[in-house]
Chain A
Amino acid sequence: MSTSTKTAASAAARSTGRSAAPARYSERVRAERRLGWLLAGPAFVVMLAVTAYPILQAAYDSLFNYRLTAPGERSFVGLGNYGVILTDDLFWRDLGVTVLITVVTVLVELVLGFALALVMHKALKSVRGLLRTAILVPYGIITVVSAFAWFYAFDINSGYVNNWFGWLPGIDQDLNWFADTGTALFVIIASEIWKTTPFISLLLLAGLAQVPDELNEAALVDGATWWERMRRVILPNMKAAIMVAVLFRALDAFRIFDNVFIMTGGAYGTEVLSLLAYRTSIGRLEIGLGSAVSVVLFICVLLICFIAIKLFKVDLAGARGGKS
């Protein structure tokens, strides 16, 4: 092999990265590729093993009528389980509750998270550390602990909220927050918002840091008001960060489980899809039907992702540092 073809091949390898057969690459390029997969391979395989394998197994199990308590009666039902789910009112109600929680939490968190991000961004040096530390407490705290904290504060027996806010119309000593869909969802959503707003505000903080200072200063010199700068300079430059933050939180909120499980266990019309899947497969040991719910939930998440990427052009890979 002549030197010129060798350099041409390795140049081609660098520019296209994959097209030709490995044998034609230089020794150095091949060694680098081998090392690359040697280092990245284990993590890649583990990730696939702990998610791709189970979800395929779930897809397979969902085609059977299969109860763990009666394994001998396992029978193939095709898409029957999906038919059962999609014609069940309970599924649609749970889906509605899940979507409601997702939409409300993401909207509130976007506003609250942006305010917190602005505070952290602009804060005087003397309080910056303190503010960031405080904001990280809800981020790091266990969701179940957050759920109990909010639950005990509102609970009719151990709570003090009824006592404190008795002057508000609709709140009195006998208000049982967890015996009504609306009030129970209010507390569930409050706990969810408290716990996860720090995450969204840190994503937005990173976006704020990327807004070029010169633009902001130029607008200031031109006499733009705070609101004008926000709307014309800062927000447009943060669009990518906002989109990513919203998508990530939406996907996370859609999987909500812990808060609902602790506070109501899904009673009084507060059940969400994750809880339905849990109750069906782990609670009632209906592996076939539970797997079908799991697969439907997975498809919902894929759909949200697909819509965000296709419709709103959210570049997840680019925004998450994936440019390489």
Chain B
Amino acid sequence: MKTSAGRERAIWAAIAILVLLYALFPVASIFATSFKQPSDLTSGKFLPTEWVTDNYEQILVGNAQGLFLSALWNSVGIALIATFIAVVLATLCAYAIARLDFPGKRLVLTTALAVSIFPVISIVTPLFNLWRSIGLYDTWPGLIIPYLSLTLPISIWTLAAFFRQIPWELEQAAQVDGATTWQAFRKAIVPLAAPGVFTTAIIAFFIAWNDFVYGISLTSTEAARPVPAALAFFTGASQFEAPTGAISAAAIIVTIPVVLLVVLFQRQIVSGLTQGAVKG
């Protein structure tokens, strides 16, 4: 009995190590690269011969600072605003879908589904053209608006799934006590719904944070270019040096918020993604 339990634990340890290797190896790889000296980049080895922070200095305080920090600021600002707008609109929408009876409910859900499978590149050309003529090209709103096509549909689906599980009798009880529909929503339901809204915000943020197509197509300067797009256009410390180290360091910095959110809210993210997915 004891040995079989021990064996089971050993098997799980082995599986855990395999999964960890799978999930973290590429991150470890670029992490190691980010600490290499330029001369060390071609060593053909996984780990740096000598760990140096030159690459981080270059993008945070050095000559690539302007390029990276402005992109970081753009990414954070644009992704947060796009997430915020999407979550506010989706919360109202999902409440109506989960709770109220109105014609066209299915139409709203189907539209959200259709938008979420939309090929981003298909709408980038007309937006590129339109944004140039109305002055939204290379601005924050010029990215925030199209980002809604990424963040809004998944927010509606995830929140609708969350809201269906809320005990709505509470709302009716509040209404019996004389509250209007709106008051019942605000006082009785919002506190219960808050965790779902928060989880949805994390998922929407990941998606906005990840965008690349809009980022490279609808911006041209440091005014609005987000980090993924900036990475693609990075040049090295000199014209003759590959920017490998600087890009790796920047990649690690933009991965930190992802890792933090995942470590802190693993349970919520998993339940948000699985609920929004397959629950009839």
B residues in contact with A206, CB < 8 Å: 273-275, 277-279
Interface segment, one of B49-57, B60-68, B123-131: B123-131
Q: Does B117 contact A (CB under 8 A)?
A: yes
Which residues of A are found within 8 Å of B90, using beta-carbon distances?
A: 43
- Interface SS, A side: helix
Distance between Cα atoms of A46 and B148 in the complex (Å): 8
13 pairs of residues in contact across A and B, judged by CB atoms under 8 Å: A29-B101, A36-B100, A50-B145, A129-B267, A139-B206, A141-B27, A148-B231, A158-B33, A202-B277, A298-B118, A317-B106, A317-B113, A322-B110
Give A317 to B103 CA distance when docked, in angstroms. 16
B119 contacts A by Cβ under 8 Å? yes
- The main secondary structure of chain B at its interface with chain A is helix
Contact yes or no, A321 B157, CB < 8 A: yes
Residue of A nearest to B100 (CB): A36
Are the C-beta atoms of B278 and A319 separated by less than 8 Å?
A: yes
Q: What CA separation (Å) do A14 and B100 show in the bound complex?
A: 11
A318 interface hit (Cβ, 8 Å): yes
Q: Are B279 and A145 in contact (CB under 8 A)?
A: no
Which A140-171 residues have a C-beta within 8 angstroms of B? 140-146, 148-150, 152-153, 157-160, 162-164
Is the CB–CB distance between B105 and A324 below 8 Å?
Answer: yes
How many interface residues does chain A have, given as a range?
35 or more
User: Which chain B residue lies CB-closest to A166?
Assistant: B44
CB distance from A262 to the nearest CB of B (A): 6
- The answer to whether B29 touches A158, judged by C-beta atoms less than 8 angstroms apart, is no
- Which residues of chain B have C-beta atoms less than 8 A from A291's C-beta? 125-126
Q: Is the CB of B101 within 8 A of A33?
A: yes
Q: Using CB atoms and an 8 Å cutoff, list the residues of chain A in contact with chain B.
A: 14, 17-18, 29, 31-33, 35-40, 42-44, 46-48, 50-51, 53-55, 57-58, 61, 68, 116, 119, 123-124, 127, 129-146, 148-150, 152-153, 157-160, 162-164, 173, 191, 194, 198-199, 202-203, 205-207, 209-210, 240-241, 244, 248, 251-252, 254-255, 257-258, 261-262, 274, 277-278, 281-282, 287, 290-291, 294-295, 297-298, 301, 305, 316-324
